[in-house]
Structure 1
């Protein structure tokens, strides 16, 4: 899969309003993926993604999140704590994009598709371990 196709899929998911779920260095990956195993994040949820200005940074955030309530005492909407969560991916450091098959149990919520982003190793050694970002498109 090419970055342009990934970009189109991310745009379509944004427009659907269904959001994204993300794993970093998932335990679901094959050992041959050469992913980092010292840190794993799972089930991070974001309402949207976008490119930051004229940079190569793809930003996942929750700025489309709806309020969960309203505090009449201070006359303000109430948002969940994760509203300030965000994640950034430098697309210039993506080595490969892979459409995942057989992803039914990768996330808590059902995904319509799952994509792995294989990042370049930090030491630029082709055989080095890398971060793998798994993006689930919430159904």
Structure 2
């Protein structure tokens, strides 16, 4: 089994969209203005919902959370320094944490206050393909 979707919440999707597309360079799969942004990841999807809109029942059951969640996106182990520079160039505060010989994580926040992490899969002992 693997995670197919990771979901975060943001009250202001107009602020979230340029962050995820321009700062992180993710590919926007689809969106509904004021409701959600869906981004394609390698082997999965990142869903960003406006909690007020997704709390309303529709074609799928209502579900809502609050900004302040966490997601970790996998990066190549050799890309940590490049990503740290890129994030700082966009004015983000980046915290680095070393997991011994397994790799290093970069922690930062999106505009909604979600804590994002970029790390190699090796921090969990998962070998990269």
- TM bin (shorter chain): under 0.3
More helix by share: 2
Structure with the greater alpha carbon radius of gyration? 1
More strand by share: 1
TM-score by length of structure 2 reads: 0.22
Higher RCO (C-alpha under 8 Å, 6+ residues apart): 1
TM-score by length of structure 1 reads: 0.22
